[in-house]
């Protein structure tokens, strides 16, 4: 970049000198005196014409819409899974260019989504008013807690102050119940009467079966016979059912009697154990356990009542705010996780051409690793490099002509798009990068980075008074010119002037001279010999102003 700036400045200086030389060769409007020992002097007339002021600089072709793409949201180091383009590939917006493994980002999104759903459910529960079922369940929880507390208190009281008389009565009642159960068991045992009853039923069943079998062995087939056979079978089946039912009932009665005895024995044992415990000293561990049970039951009841009160009061504002904040936080986490997952696929953000690739499939990359450079080659501009002494003459909208070394003889139009407020220091010179549009070069195969020669038209002046720029002198910060002395033998006289536009060769004089006035150009001997060698008598006669100046009518 520094080299380009220096080249531009050198070209500008050469253009100025060449234009001045051309002007001197063409001018023959005044007498000249050449003296090899003292230098060169020429008298020229002030002219009137139209002046187009411009500056010529070197620039570089670039694409304003360009992007060096990377996986900016990748965490740590990962592997480039695929690269689907190469330099020169023409792509469209949204086209997949490269990918990395999306698995960890999908897992993170799934987890964030699950967390969000949980937070949303919590918020929904707070915002939803309690139903009649919720209230009923809360009341039931209170009742259950109250019952559990009363049981715990009764158990503690029994440990602390047992009722010995009641315990003895319970033992006595249990003993009587056992005696009664044993008596019932004895009664349920099979005796001769029950055996005789069962034998009679068995005999009847056997007789009816014999009758049925006799009839079944006969060979009659008339209706009367069939009716007699059916009646005999039904009588046998009824007798069988009666016998079986009697046997089963005897077994059931015996089993119930055994169960009553077992239950009575268990109840007696428990009553005797309770009496023994009541008569013995209270165990410290049992007492502590009972007291802990009472405390826990009281806490459970308090929690149940608080929960019921919360239903009546509704959700707390602080709880709602905290729940909403948690939902917002989880929603942001989901958005971030979704963005990370989307960023695992590199897609073209605009239609363009891949200029360069900086990685290959399988490479280890980070968030800062460049993958490729994409540019829109259908909309190109030129960056003109302008130094700090010239930038003050540049304004947005000024027209420019552009040529490329790669396409000699072709000139394109453009205009200044913006004037930057900040420059960069290059080789001790502050340089500003000025963007310039490019028109009429759509059919050329231009490449980003091509050198461009830019001439920016910085101003126009019509019917202006013009003098050669080389005739101007700066003395003490003021601009002046030399005019011929009225005494032919006298030295030229200094006249202060005010100047306007300049194209390097000619400069506009806005005050101090009139059309037709003459000015004196003096060059030192070294300058005359170096810059004007070969001038002879009449060498500056005739001709008009150099290119860029159109004489007035």
The 10s digit of each residue's pLDDT in 123-148 is 998 888 888 888 899 999 999 999 99
Cα–Cα dist 414/398, whole Å: 9
Write the pLDDT tens digit of every residue in 68-106.
999 999 989 999 999 999 999 999 999 999 999 999 999
Cα–Cα dist 278/528, whole Å: 139
Residue 100, CA distances (Å) to 75, 85, 280, 342, 367 in order: 11, 15, 79, 11, 12
Write the pLDDT tens digit of every residue in 413-455.
999 999 999 999 998 999 999 999 999 888 888 889 999 999 9
Q: In 184-203, which positions are buried (b, 16+ CB within 10 angstroms) versus exposed (e)?
A: bbeebeeeeeeeeeeeebee
- Position 526 scores a pLDDT of 52
The distance between the two most distant Cα atoms of the chain, rounded to a whole number of Å, is: 184
Write the pLDDT tens digit of every residue in 324-360.
999 999 999 999 999 999 999 999 999 999 999 999 9
Best CA proximity match to 458, nearest among 393, 403, 536:
393
CATH 3.30.450.20 given to domain 66-101+344-375? no
- Position 363 scores a pLDDT of 95
Percent of the chain at pLDDT > 70 equals 87
Residue 505, CA distances (Å) to 175, 380, 448, 535, 546 in order: 140, 32, 34, 19, 8
* Sequence-distant (≥ 6) Cβ neighbours of residue 527 within 8 angstroms: 39, 40
Domain spanning 2-64+379-551, CATH architecture: Beta Barrel (2.40)
Backbone angles phi, psi at 409, to 5 degrees: 85, -5
Pairing state of beta strands 498-502 and 66-70? unpaired
Whether 3 shows a pLDDT value over 70: the answer reads no
Whether 550 shows a pLDDT value over 50: the answer reads no
- Position 281 scores a pLDDT of 62
pTM higher than 0.75: no
Is 87:374 a contact under the CB 8 Å cutoff? Answer: no
What integer is the mean pLDDT of 238-267? 91
**What's the token pair of residue 454?**
């830019």
**What's the token pair of residue 204?**
């009847």
* Band (535; pLDDT cuts 50, 70, 90): very low
Write the pLDDT tens digit of every residue in 214-233.
988 988 888 998 998 899 99
Cα–Cα dist 58/520, whole Å: 34
- Position 282 scores a pLDDT of 64
* Band (210; pLDDT cuts 50, 70, 90): very high
| Domain edges within the chain | 2-64+379-551, 66-101+344-375, 134-298
Is 20:468 a contact under the CB 8 Å cutoff? Answer: yes
Q: What value does the mean pLDDT of the chain take?
A: 85
Write the pLDDT tens digit of every residue in 277-311.
776 766 778 788 988 999 999 999 999 999 988 88
């Amino acid at each position: 970049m520094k080299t380009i700036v220096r080249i531009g400045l050198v070209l500008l200086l050469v253009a100025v000198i060449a234009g001045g030389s051309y002007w001197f060769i063409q001018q023959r409007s005044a007498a000249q005196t050449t003296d090899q020992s003292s230098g060169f002097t020429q008298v020229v007339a002030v002219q009137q014409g139209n002046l187009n002021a411009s500056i010529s600089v070197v620039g570089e072709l670039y694409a304003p819409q360009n992007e060096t793409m990377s996986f900016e949201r990748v965490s740590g180091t990962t592997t480039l899974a695929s690269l689907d383009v190469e330099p020169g590939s023409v792509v469209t917006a949204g086209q997949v260019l490269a990918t990395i493994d999306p698995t960890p980002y999908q897992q993170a999104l799934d987890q964030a989504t699950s967390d969000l759903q949980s937070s949303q459910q919590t918020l929904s529960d707070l915002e939803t008013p309690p139903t009649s079922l919720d209230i009923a369940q809360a009341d039931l929880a209170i009742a259950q807690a109250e019952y559990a507390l009363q049981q715990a208190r009764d158990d503690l009281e029994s440990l602390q102050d047992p009722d010995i008389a009641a315990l003895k009565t319970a033992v006595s009642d249990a003993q009587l119940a056992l005696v009664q159960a044993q008596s019932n068991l004895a009664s349920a045992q099979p005796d001769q009467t029950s055996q005789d009853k069962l034998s009679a039923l068995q005999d009847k069943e056997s007789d009816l079966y014999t009758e049925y079998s006799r009839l079944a062995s006969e060979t009659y087939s008339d209706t009367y016979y069939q009716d007699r056979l059916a009646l005999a079978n039904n009588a046998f089946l009824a007798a069988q059912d009666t016998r079986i039912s009697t046997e089963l009932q005897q077994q059931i009665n015996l089993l119930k009697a055994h169960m009553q005895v077992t239950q009575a024995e268990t109840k007696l044992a428990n009553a005797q154990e309770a009496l023994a415990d009541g008569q013995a000293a209270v165990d410290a561990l049992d007492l502590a356990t009972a007291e802990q049970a009472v405390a826990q039951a009281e806490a459970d009841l308090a929690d149940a009542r608080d929960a019921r009160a919360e239903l009546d009061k509704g959700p707390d504002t602080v709880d709602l705010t905290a729940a909403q904040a948690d939902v917002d936080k989880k929603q942001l986490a989901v958005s971030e996780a979704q963005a990370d997952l989307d960023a695992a696929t590199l897609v073209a953000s605009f239609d363009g051409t891949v200029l360069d690739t900086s990685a290959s499939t399988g490479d280890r990359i980070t968030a800062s690793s460049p993958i490729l450079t994409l540019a829109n080659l259908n909309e190109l501009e030129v960056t003109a490099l302008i130094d700090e002494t010239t930038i003050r003459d540049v304004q947005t909208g000024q027209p420019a002509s552009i040529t490329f070394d790669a396409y000699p003889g072709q000139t394109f139009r453009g205009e200044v798009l913006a004037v930057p407020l900040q420059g960069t220091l290059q080789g001790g010179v502050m340089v500003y990068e000025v963007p310039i549009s490019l028109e009429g070069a759509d059919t050329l195969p231009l490449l980003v980075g091509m050198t461009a020669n830019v001439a920016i038209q910085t101003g126009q002046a019509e019917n202006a008074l013009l003098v050669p720029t080389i005739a101007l002198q700066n003395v003490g910060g003021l601009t002046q010119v030399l005019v011929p002395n009225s005494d032919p033998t006298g030295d030229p006289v200094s006249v202060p002037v005010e100047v306007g536009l300049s194209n390097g060769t000619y400069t506009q004089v806005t005050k101090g001279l009139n059309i037709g006035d003459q000015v004196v150009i003096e060059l030192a001997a070294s300058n005359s010999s170096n810059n004007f060698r070969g001038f002879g008598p009449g060498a500056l006669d005739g001709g008009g102003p150099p290119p860029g100046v159109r004489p007035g009518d």
